[in-house]
Chains A and B, each alone.
Chain A
């Protein structure tokens, strides 16, 4: 639930990047951190294992400055993708306002994507919310790879509710900001 502090004139929203292991969630945050103006971003905080896999979460605070007199802050999180960490994902989803579901476009990853999306639906429903109406966008990542599945096929398996959907190559940037803009506007619309 977004938080509006009238006295401090501040608005806070929480956005979580969700998806299977290695689909590119951390890479999205790294790209955003590398590109937004200095004044907008805080430090990118990562709780990772020695081998760089996300252990708990990545966290990137963005400060959009004053909008109509309100200081607006977006907090971006990623979850650890490995199946093992479902409980950790539940913890990170606490109080979330919007989700980016990052899917790995590689053919061999389709089943992992489908399972991860199902798990997300379960976890959102457990918070007492309707998944179908939940603020969510999809990102089909790694479109640069030769074994990437055709978009219509991915839609068939991953996008039954016609969520806004973006193609991306998070490693080199294309699509990363379109995705972030997409989810941000939905979240703002629901404030």
Chain B
């Protein structure tokens, strides 16, 4: 199968999703944080744990990924080689963002009661676990048709024709 990263999707199988959720779960528990999100660098939300009913998770994902990507460009201009984490301090809540193997972005939202030092240590541990998961996901190389079914594309095209019109 072609290895051009652009032509293959990242397919996350159910057992790995469970593991990802466990990692996020633990991160929130152990830090006493409010919310943990795992994003793809494109801004899409892979999994989240915490304030379950946030309506704005999608927009949050797009913005956090945007912020992170833009900070990396700043880092490049400063000739900063190893830019992997970002801390954003708010009045009520803080945000800590870590990059995982250039593909995923782990974010934890926590309040004043949590010590930043603790977050740093635990986010590093979580990153290592997620990085191992990502590596397996990348290597598993499932064939799209096994997952989506061969007629997915035609059904998708019909849906596109139906919805994308004036």
Contacts and interface: CB of A to CB of B under 8 A. Distances in A.
Chains A and B are bound partners: yes
Interface of A: 1-8, 11-12, 14, 32, 35-37, 40, 42-43, 45, 56-57, 59, 61-62, 64-65, 67-68, 70, 72-73, 75, 77, 87-88, 90-92, 94-97, 127-129, 134-135, 173, 176-177, 180-181, 184-185, 188-191
Contact of B6 (A68, A134, A188): A134
**Chain B at the A interface: mostly helix, strand, loop or mixed?**
helix
Contacts of A8: 17
B161 interface: yes
B44 A35 contact: no
Report which residue of A2, A43, A77, A94 has the largest number of chain B beta carbons within 10 angstroms of its beta carbon: A94
B10 A191 contact: no
Given A5-B12, A7-B18, A14-B43, A37 B152 contact: no
Contacts of B7: 190
Given A65-B159, A75-B42, A191 B59 contact: no
Nearest to A1: B10
Nearest to B153: A188
28 contacts: A3-B40, A3-B42, A4-B147, A5-B46, A7-B12, A7-B13, A12-B44, A14-B42, A35-B165, A36-B164, A42-B59, A45-B59, A45-B63, A56-B70, A64-B160, A68-B149, A73-B44, A75-B58, A91-B70, A94-B43, A95-B44, A128-B5, A129-B6, A176-B166, A177-B164, A177-B165, A181-B160, A185-B157
Nearest to A45: B59
B77 interface: yes
A191 B148 contact: yes
B58 to A, nearest CB: 5
